[in-house]
Structure 1
Amino acid sequence: MVRVVFVHPDLGIGGAERLVVDAALALKRKGHDVHFFTAHHDPSHCFTETSDGQLKVTCIGDWLPRSTFGMLAAFWAYIRMVYVALYLVLISGVSYEVVFVDQISACIPFLRLKHSKIIFYCHFPDQLLTQRKSLLKKIYRYFLDNLEEKTTGYADCILVNSHFTASVFKDTFKSIKAAPSVLYPSLDFNKFDEYAEITLKEANLHIPGECIFLSLNRYERKKNLGLALESLKVLLGMLEEDEKSDIHLVIAGGYDERVQENIDHFNELTSMAKGLGISEKITFLKSPSDKEKIALLRCARCLVYTPDKEHFGIVPIESMYVGTPVIAVNSGGPKETVVNGETGILCNQAPESFADAMHSFVKDIGEKKFMGKAGHNRVVNNFSFLKFSEHLDYIVQGLMDERKQR
């Protein structure tokens, strides 16, 4: 048994959180002891495994600000993670041998105050997620970006979520000579199998129309959700009047009242739907439960996945597992998960391209069955929780063997 501590900035609901929760569950099922330390954990807005006792969670430092008058969010995120690391090392009294850190590497030097092995999981370089607009912000980011690269290099093992992210990592962090290893996120099939026959009605969802398209992403501008609305508008223009009545688009995703962008972008999208004249064809859902999400994925004609250059994208994997094809932008992680013409359709980032792909599913219902079966098989063969668990366990055991040799 290896004692593993996870240090994560905010145990909310998102792809990064799903990854670390799955990693903790994987190691726990392999017989290791796992414990989360985080700066924020709201039992009403988190993955169930972190609130129902399956995983130990210690929340510390949530009194620290998240920003200063809406600014310096990255700076405070770094401070919060450093505070969590110092608490773990100096005050917690918790004994551990491996620390799994993700998203923010600034805390790694402080974790090195104790003799432990450190894994850093890079979802994507933080500096590339920031839009630089002013000279002042460029100066501010210059110091944070250099700190990110320097501290990332202190990890004993660096993991990334896709070969796409690995290539970006190499181009971004030029001073780090060690190549990161790819550990694909996975699915816990049991959770999805639990709702194998679920209907929208059983999930208390009332969505009109026989042909439902689903967009499932956090309410963030980088997720490009407006493309789904524009694509629906183009699609409706391609259909006969009697066909339009069956069409409906559900936009669902993570929504946090603490995050101003979530609030602003939700309002932007609802206004955009009104401007396009398609409000009656759209249902917006905030932070759907697992039951609701799986029901939507199973009942949708296809998933409309709009992010460009997405680092990996767990939602297409979830969709393919339940037998629902994926329409996605032909870039980033989806190029590694979706097989064009076999498990879905990869498109140019344009409403016309997406609408053409959506039109094919309106006209040919059998397309979903054919691609859905191929997608399910692809996920089972390539992204199983068992493979993920074995790979991560191998990494942890390898770090322990290195430690014993010293």
Structure 2
Amino acid sequence: MVRVLFLHPDLGIGGAERLVVDAALALKERGHDVSFLTNHHDSSHCFKETADGTFPVQVVGDWLPRQLFGRFYALCAYIRMLYAAVYASFFMPQRHEVQLVVCDLISVCIPVLRLAPHKPRVLFYCHFPDQLLSQREGALKRLYRAPINWLEERTIGLADKVLVNSKFTLRVFQDTFRHLSTAPDVLYPSLHTQYFDKMSAKLEQRAALLDDEPLHARVPRNSFVYLDINRFERKKNHALALQSLRLLGNMLPALDFKRCWLIIAGGYDTRCVENVEHYAELEALTEQLELQDNVVLLQSPTDEEKCRLLYASHCLLYTPANEHFGIVPLEGMYFCKPVVALNSGGPTETVVHSSTGFLCEQQEKSFGGAMYQLFRDEALRVKMGDLGHKRVQQKFSFEAFADRLSQIVEELVPTSSKKHK
């Protein structure tokens, strides 16, 4: 058994949070002792495993500002994580028991962890280089980001081991951090399939009792539902789904299109200005495209609600370009849904074109054409769904993910240090 501490900035409901929670579940199932330390945790806006007692979660530094004058988000995030790292290294009561710290997103905490008297090993999981996520906004922004970008590369290099989430991210990592001598290993995220299996069984029983239960109050029974799951952020490109739906409406007879609904279900946090702004932008675009009778914007669905959406929808749309990995396509495929995604980034490693879904160009003609084909061809839709489910089982199983991660952890922590103190 290894005592593992996950150090994560904000335990919300994003893809990075789903990954660390699944990694924690994997290690716990393999007999390791796991806990979380974070800057922010809202029990009403998180994955249930971090709120129901599955893992101990401790919050430190939430009093520190998240931004200054509407800017300097990265600087504030770095300061908050440095504070958490100092606490974990020198003040946390159970710090001497921690043998391995798993951190992600912000690497500036690694040098502090290396200074801890009890010398824990450090594993860094790189979802994507942070400096590439920052939008360029002129000379002042570049000047502000320069030391942060320099710190990112130097501090990642201090970790005992680095993992990335896809071959795509590995290539970007190597192109970005040219001064690092060692290449990370690829560890694909997975799904906690036991949970999805339980939810599927529950939903099947519910469907048998409540025949033709509507998926949403606004969505009529027997509708054809396209589902788009992602945070309400501009880079997630929800506008493409709306524009493609409008094109689909121009391709189908009016009565057929009346059956078509798009549900955009995304993480929504009132503390995040972009979430609030972009949600309003999508509402305005929906009205502009005259899709009010075909679209539902759903804020922060629970795990149970998300499973029901995946279970009852007909097709999953995945619209971000150059997504680092993207766990949502795996979720859709596991629920036997064909996936329509962009032909870039992580989805090119999960979705098999014309087999488990379609990989499309970033234009409504390509995306809308795939949506049209799946609406018209039920046999193809069912076949793709079945092949997608099998692909997740064969290539992205939770068992393989858990075994590999546990092996990495045990290789990092010497046998002699695993003894109880």
Common fold: TM-score over 0.5: yes
Residue in structure 1 matched with residue 147 of structure 2 by the alignment: 143
User: Are 1:133 and 2:145 matched, yes or no?
Assistant: no
Q: Quick one: distance in 1 between partners of 2:29 and 2:289?
A: 49
Q: What letter corresponds to residue 156 of structure 2 in structure 1? A: T
Q: Is residue 2:375 matched to residue 1:362?
A: yes
Residue 124 (str. 1) matches residue 124 (str. 2): no
- Counterparts in 2 of 1:12-91, with a 5 A limit? 12-91=12-91
Q: Which residue of 1 aligns with 2:196?
A: 192
* SS class of match (1:9): strand
Partners of 1:165 and 1:86 lie apart in 2 by 29
The secondary structure found in structure 2 opposite 1:272 is helix
2:325 matches 1:320: no
Q: State the distance in 2 between where 1:340 and 1:231 align.
A: 19
Stretches of structure 2 lacking an aligned partner (at least 5 in a row): none
C-alpha deviations, 1:247-273, integer Å up to 9, x for none?
A: 111111110111000000000000001
Kindly state the Cα deviation for residue 284 of structure 1 after the two structures are TM-superposed: 0.7
**Secondary structure of 1:39's aligned partner:** strand
Distance 2:142 2:296 in 1: 39
Write the letter of the residue equivalent to 1:152: I
Structure 1 residue 370, shift from structure 2 partner: 0.3
Aligned to 2:102: 100
Provide the residue aligned with 1:306 in structure 2. Answer: 319
Partners of 1:153 and 1:40 in 2: CA distance: 26
Give the root-mean-square deviation of aligned CA atoms: 1.4
| Mapping 1:154-233, distance limit 5 Å | 154-196=158-200, 197=204, 199=207, 201=213, 206-208=218-220, 210-233=223-246
Distance 1:70 1:47 in 2: 28
Deviations 1:284-325 (A, max 9, x none): 100111121111112222111100000000000000001001
Residue identity opposite 1:340 in structure 2: H
**Conserved? CA contact 2:316–2:339, under 8 Å:** yes
For the structure 1 residues 6 and 274, does the alpha-carbon distance in structure 2 shift closer, same or farther, using more than 3 Å as the test? same
| Shift in Å, 1:143 | 0.7
Letter in 1 for 2:250: G
2:303 corresponds in structure 1 to 290
Corresponding residue of 2:414:
401
Cα distance change of structure 1 residues 340 and 58 upon mapping to structure 2, 3 Å threshold: same
Deviation at 1:203, TM superposition (A): 6.8
Structure 1 outlier segments of 4+, above 4 Å: 202-206
Letter in 1 for 2:53: G
SS at match of 2:93: coil
Figure out how many residues of one structure are paired with residues of the other and give that number.
Answer: 404
In structure 2, C-alpha distance between the alignment counterparts of 1:366 and 1:298, rounded to whole Å:
18
Equivalent-residue separation in structure 2 for 1:16 and 1:285 (angstroms)? 20
TM-fit CA distance, 1:204? 6.2
Supply the AA of the counterpart residue of 1:15.
G
Superposition deviation, residue 244 in structure 1:
1.4
Give, in whole Å, the separation in 2 of the partners of 1:210 and 1:224: 24
CA distance in 2, matches of 1:126, 1:201: 43
Taking the aligned partners of 2:366 and 2:229, their CA distance within structure 1 comes to: 19
Amino acid at match of 2:69: F
Partner of 2:114: 112
The 1-side partners of 2:233 and 2:111 are apart by: 31
Whichever residue aligns with residue 70 of structure 2, its letter is G
Q: Distance in 1 between matches of 2:215 and 2:51?
A: 21
Q: 1:355 to 1:84 in 2, by over 3 A?
A: same
Identity %: 51
Instruction: Report if aligned partners of 1:235, 1:359 keep a CA contact under 8 Å in 2.
Output: yes
Query: Do 2:229 and 2:328's aligned partners in 1 also have CA atoms closer than 8 Å?
Result: yes
Q: Distance in 2 between matches of 1:403 and 1:159?
A: 24
Q: Could you report, residue by residue, the CA deviation over 1:7-40 in whole angstroms, capped at 9, with x for unpaired residues?
A: 0000000100000011111111111111100000
Which residue type is aligned with residue 201 of structure 1? Answer: E
Give, in whole Å, the separation in 1 of the partners of 2:275 and 2:401. 31
Counterpart-to-counterpart distance in 2, 1:144 and 1:85: 17
Please state whether the residue corresponding to 2:337 is helix, strand or coil.
Answer: coil
The answer to whether the 8 Å contact 2:215/2:312 transfers is no
Residue deviations 1:117-154, cap 9 Å, x none?
10000000000001111211110001100000110100
- Conservation of the 8 A alpha-carbon contact between 1:203 and 1:291: no
TM-score, structure 2 normalization: 0.94
Indicate if the aligned counterparts of 2:48 and 2:303 stay in contact, CA closer than 8 A.
Answer: no
Residue 342 of structure 1 aligns to which amino acid in structure 2?
S
1:372 and 2:385 are equivalent in the alignment:
yes
Check whether the contact 1:122–1:158 (CA below 8 A) recurs between aligned residues.
Answer: yes
CA distance in 2, matches of 1:211, 1:85: 48
Distance 1:247 1:264 in 2: 26
* Mapped partners of 2:352, 2:373: distance in 1: 16
- For the residue of structure 1 that corresponds to 2:36, the secondary structure is strand
Structure 1: 5+ residue stretches without partners: none
CA offsets 1:208-248 (integer angstroms, 9 cap, x no match): 35211111100000001100000000010001122111111
3-state SS of 1:185 partner: coil
Q: Equivalents in 1 of 2:11, 2:364: separation in Å? A: 34
> What do residues 82-137 of structure 1 show as CA deviations (whole Å, max 9, x unaligned)?
00000011111222111100000001000011211100000000000011112111
